[in-house]
Amino acid sequence: MSKNQTAVKRKTRLSLGIIWRQRYLLAMSIPFVIWLIIFKYIPLWGWTMAFQDVKPATFKKPIFEREFVGFGNFIKAFKDRLFTQTMINTIGVSIIGIAIGTLAAIVFAVMLNEMKFLKFKKVTQTISYLPHFVSWVIIASIAKNVFNDGGVVDSLFNTNLHLMSTNSVLIWFVIVFIDVWKEVGWNAIIYLSAMAGIDPGLYEAAEIDGANRFQRIWHITLPGIRPTIIVLLIMSIGGALNVGMERQMLLSNPLIEDHTMVLSWFSYKRGIGNSDYGLGTAIGVFQSAVGITLLLIANKIAGLLGEDRLI
């Protein structure tokens, strides 16, 4: 909080007088609060649909006149023939993504931190951000050139590897590879800024004690960014089920959909594709509920291991 405003910061109690005095502030903020309620809070109220039978015909009915089905939609979702595979895909692609993505970003950040030719470091860093700013559609279009049958990789190895046309877990790795390629430079920034906060005296002392470069990385740099790593890991575990439908759908094709389908996409497919709004919402609610649980568990484990907790 800014020190400049302490003079003004007296207790402001709600009264007609103050509302009149602050009418401009009210006029400048209330429209956005209304916007917020419509676009952010009304959809939250829509979670009630997860416990109701809602189809296009019954959507118009007032909420209390729709048929309540309890956990019926959830049971329907779990019994769905696509559910188990979708769950496996979501968790699989997520865990691989978190593991490889985190590792790659840390390694890249350490390398940038060690780079002594500063101009070259800057150029590399700038280039590494480029894919981050490019949309997933463009990335998908580019990835198809590289990984499709007869694409760049195939022609490089002079064989047909079917990287994007094999209906197996191979596609998880291809997707993770593309994702890491897109985001590694960007994700390294936060680790780099954590490294910038490490006391340079530590490195000097280590050098005097005769520590070589790898020892300095291992004993100073990595422990220095440890809290950052933990916080980011907790957050990404909390988001483990929130694998975006956009990326999955764009990098997929009907041949390999069995292994690219994830929860958000499944929710769309059932909710809007099959017009079963209740079922689609239930899948979304399930995803959020598991996400919060995972976040709390990861947070608890971090606490038990003596690390800084997020919450």
Which residues, 166 to 205, sit near another protein by CB under 8 A?
181, 185, 189-190, 193, 200, 204
The span from the CA of 155 to the CA of 226, in Å, is 42
User: Could you identify the residue written with the tokens 């949309």?
Assistant: 135
Report in angstroms how near the CB of residue 35 gets to another protein at its nearest.
7
Enclosing H/E stretch for 68: strand 67-68
**Closest CB to another protein among residues 14, 304:** 14
Report in angstroms how near the CB of residue 78 gets to another protein at its nearest.
17
Task: Please pick, from the candidates 88, 91, 100, 142, the single residue that binds another protein as defined by CB under 8 A.
Answer: 142
**Closest CB to another protein among residues 93, 295:** 295
The burial of 279, by beta-carbon neighbours within 10 Å (0-12 exposed, 13-18 middle, 19 or more buried), is given as: buried
Residues 73 to 132 in contact with another protein, rule: CB under 8 A: 108, 111, 114-117, 120-121, 123-124, 126-131
**Phi and psi at residue 152, to the nearest 5°:** -60, -45
The count of chain residues that interact with another protein, using the rule CB under 8 A, is 93
**Closest CB to another protein among residues 40, 79:** 40
Residues 42 to 61 in contact with another protein, rule: CB under 8 A: 42-47, 49, 59
The span from the CA of 28 to the CA of 185, in Å, is 39
275: left (phi over 0), alpha (psi -120 to 50) or beta: left
Task: Please pick, from the candidates 63, 99, 134, 301, the single residue that binds another protein as defined by CB under 8 A.
Answer: 134
**Closest CB to another protein among residues 154, 169:** 154
**Closest CB to another protein among residues 89, 248:** 248
Report in angstroms how near the CB of residue 311 gets to another protein at its nearest.
11
Task: Please pick, from the candidates 152, 235, 301, 311, the single residue that binds another protein as defined by CB under 8 A.
Answer: 152
The span from the CA of 302 to the CA of 43, in Å, is 33
* 137 scored as a contact of another protein (CB under 8 A): yes
Rg (CA), the chain: 25
Residues 5 to 44 in contact with another protein, rule: CB under 8 A: 5, 7-10, 12-14, 18-19, 22, 24-29, 32-33, 35-36, 38-44
Tokens of 72: 């019926």
DSSP string, 145-196: HHHSTTSHHHHHHTS---TTT--STHHHHHHHHHHHHHHHHHHHHHHHHHHH
Residues 221 to 280 in contact with another protein, rule: CB under 8 A: 245-246, 250, 264, 267-268, 271-272, 277, 280
**Closest CB to another protein among residues 39, 64:** 39
Tokens of 34: 């209304």
**Closest CB to another protein among residues 32, 64:** 32
CA distances from 92 to 79, 123, 173, 176, 291 (A): 20, 34, 10, 10, 15
**Phi and psi at residue 53, to the nearest 5°:** -90, 105
Tokens of 189: 């920034």
Contacts with another protein, 292-311, as mask; x by CB under 8 A: --------------------
